[in-house]
Amino acid sequence: MVPGIVPWRAALRSRHLRRRLCTAVRRPLVLGIETSCDDTGCAVVDGAGRVLSDVVHSQLQVHLDHGGIIPPIARDLHAQNIGAAAERALRDAGVSLTELDAVAVTVRPGLSLSLLVGLRHARLLARQASLPLIPVHHMRAHALTVRMAAPEVAFPFLTLLISGGHCLLAVAQAPDRFLLLGASRDDAPGEALDKAARRLKLRNLPECATLAGGRAVELLAARGDPHAFEFPLPLSQYRDCSFSFAGLKFTAQKLAASEEQRHGVVASGVVPTAADLCASLQHAVARHLCHRTQRAMDYCQARGLLPDGARRLVVSGGVACNGYITSCLRRVGEALGFEVHVPPPRLCTDNGVMIAWKGVELLRVGRGGTHDLDSVDIEARSPIGTDVSQDVADMSLKCKWVKLTGPAAQPQ
């Protein structure tokens, strides 16, 4: 047998297997394309929530080398990878472009240069196969991903979406209908964690050299004291669901500089108290998220937005990969009678799966996209839904905060 040549019997079996797999697919069958920031994601998902393929080209190392995301560089990397990623997603799924029911693509919110790459390629594919194009809201897609594996998470539900670029609380009422309870006034939690990692020079530690900033902070925090350094509680005087992380970011930078001076650390050195500082910052971020989420839970109960006996919180976005933060949120949920659902880490970060699944959800409710491909455009900024944050503030709900550490999860 010539090496590299598949025997005809094996090839025939492969074709039969592919045919059986295709007939077992539940419609609709959607290709999802994600290029809102710095990862190129393409995936095929069917109507049963089965992931037939999941391709992600990460730009992490490039942006780590540049000290942050540079939009033109992100655009160029998307352009280099998008064609191969889409082809591989179809190949891995064992389907052709013409076997799809639609192409779904992120069009808002995100980096304009990055979004355009995904939209243009999605238009190209949709035009080739005469498929409808489904424009997808990136944050809404994050909120719905959990329903792939947990169909019991029915509408409506409360969702906390936390990442490097976003932080918001919303009630998901339907695939395309959300109520915004509160959002960040400045930075996102992932931004605060990433900037702290950079200021502490965590990349100079061997175990953190290839990690994103937030993951490096979590790694070090696991062996640190969360009460070693004092961080302020943002917006404690405001009884609403808005967030602010600029103060925490500034405090972390100030403490890092102070610790370097105290320990005589210069150049590429890392302070010996880095683990304690990371743990303290991580706890401060978790506490702030938990307080605002607890008020959102109380608001939902006061307004009757969620059904009794089926109150659920969905936490998603890149920062939802942080186990300490999600464990604190679970304590709050346990104390207030909420089931807390978090997608698997690989689905919390940006990916094509969540975009494809959002397309499936929209098709199910008759939002089947459009064949007028040129009518679809991008939006760098886009609200997740109807803003009711002022009503939250007007209610001025006073909360008995759930204790985040210790043996019992009880309001205090």
Considering the domain architecture, whether residues 33 and 130 belong to the same structural domain is answered as: yes
Considering the domain architecture, whether residues 192 and 311 belong to the same structural domain is answered as: yes
Which of these, 295, 26, 313, lies nearest to 153 by C-alpha position?
313
The pLDDT value recorded for residue 20 is: 44
pLDDT at 24 over 70: no
Mean pLDDT of 384-395: 98
Please tell me the distance from the alpha carbon of residue 271 to that of residue 293, in angstroms, as a whole number. Answer: 33
Please tell me the distance from the alpha carbon of residue 127 to that of residue 61, in angstroms, as a whole number. Answer: 34
> Tokens representing 49?
């929530």
Give tens-digit pLDDT for 134-166.
Answer: 999 999 999 999 999 898 999 999 999 999 999
In a domain, 40, yes or no: yes
Mean pLDDT of 47-57: 95
Please tell me the distance from the alpha carbon of residue 248 to that of residue 252, in angstroms, as a whole number. Answer: 6
Considering the domain architecture, whether residues 161 and 300 belong to the same structural domain is answered as: yes
Considering the domain architecture, whether residues 181 and 306 belong to the same structural domain is answered as: yes
pLDDT at 19 over 90: no
pLDDT at 221 over 80: yes
Please tell me the distance from the alpha carbon of residue 308 to that of residue 89, in angstroms, as a whole number. Answer: 41
pLDDT at 21 over 60: no
pLDDT tier for residue 205 given thresholds of 50, 70 and 90 = very high
- With contact defined as beta carbons under 8 Å apart, do 162 and 315 qualify? yes
Q: Number of folded domains in the chain?
A: 2
- In the Cβ-directed half-sphere of 243, how many Cα atoms lie within 13 Å? 37
pLDDT at 14 over 50: no
Please give the backbone phi and psi of residue 7, each rounded to the nearest 5 degrees, phi first.
-55, 150
Q: Which residues contact 347 (CB under 8 A, 6 or more apart)?
A: 145, 148, 316, 353, 354
- Please give the mean pLDDT across all residues of the chain: 91
pLDDT tier for residue 38 given thresholds of 50, 70 and 90 = confident
> Tokens representing 21?
């797999």
Considering the domain architecture, whether residues 117 and 174 belong to the same structural domain is answered as: no
The pTM for the full model equals: 0.90
Considering the domain architecture, whether residues 138 and 203 belong to the same structural domain is answered as: no
pLDDT at 361 over 80: yes
Strands (E), 286-385: 312-316, 339-341
In a domain, 60, yes or no: yes
pLDDT at 94 over 50: yes
Q: Hey, how many other C-beta atoms are within 10 angstroms of the C-beta on 410?
A: 12
In a domain, 15, yes or no: no
H or E element at residue 313: strand 312-316
| Top-confidence residue, 405 or 238 | 238
Mean pLDDT of 251-273: 95
The pLDDT value recorded for residue 410 is: 42
Angle value at C-alpha 141, between 102 and 294, nearest 5 degrees: 160
Considering the domain architecture, whether residues 271 and 248 belong to the same structural domain is answered as: yes
Q: Hey, how many other C-beta atoms are within 10 angstroms of the C-beta on 199?
A: 18
Which domain covers residue 361, as residue numbers? Answer: 21-149+348-375
Give tens-digit pLDDT for 373-385.
Answer: 999 999 999 999 9
Please tell me the distance from the alpha carbon of residue 327 to that of residue 333, in angstroms, as a whole number. Answer: 10
The pLDDT value recorded for residue 3 is: 34
Considering the domain architecture, whether residues 284 and 171 belong to the same structural domain is answered as: yes
pLDDT at 60 over 80: no
DSSP-assigned letter for residue 26? P
pLDDT tier for residue 406 given thresholds of 50, 70 and 90 = low
The pLDDT value recorded for residue 302 is: 97
Considering the domain architecture, whether residues 45 and 182 belong to the same structural domain is answered as: no
With 0-12 / 13-18 / 19 or more C-beta atoms within 10 angstroms meaning exposed / middle / buried, residue 74 is: buried
pLDDT at 1 over 50: no
Considering the domain architecture, whether residues 208 and 352 belong to the same structural domain is answered as: no
The pLDDT value recorded for residue 11 is: 36
Considering the domain architecture, whether residues 306 and 358 belong to the same structural domain is answered as: no
pLDDT at 18 over 70: no
Residue 27 is part of a domain; what is its CATH number? 3.30.420.40
- With contact defined as beta carbons under 8 Å apart, do 29 and 99 qualify? yes
Mean pLDDT of 29-41: 95
Query: Bridge-partner residues for 169, per DSSP?
Result: 160, 182
pLDDT at 169 over 70: yes
Mean pLDDT of 53-72: 83
pLDDT at 8 over 90: no
Give tens-digit pLDDT for 296-354.
Answer: 999 999 999 999 889 999 999 999 999 999 999 999 999 999 999 999 999 999 999 99
In a domain, 114, yes or no: yes
- With contact defined as beta carbons under 8 Å apart, do 232 and 246 qualify? no
In a domain, 2, yes or no: no
In a domain, 368, yes or no: yes
Considering the domain architecture, whether residues 26 and 128 belong to the same structural domain is answered as: yes
In a domain, 186, yes or no: yes
The pLDDT value recorded for residue 315 is: 98
In a domain, 381, yes or no: no
Mean pLDDT of 11-40: 70
Please tell me the total number of residues recorded for the chain in this structure: 412
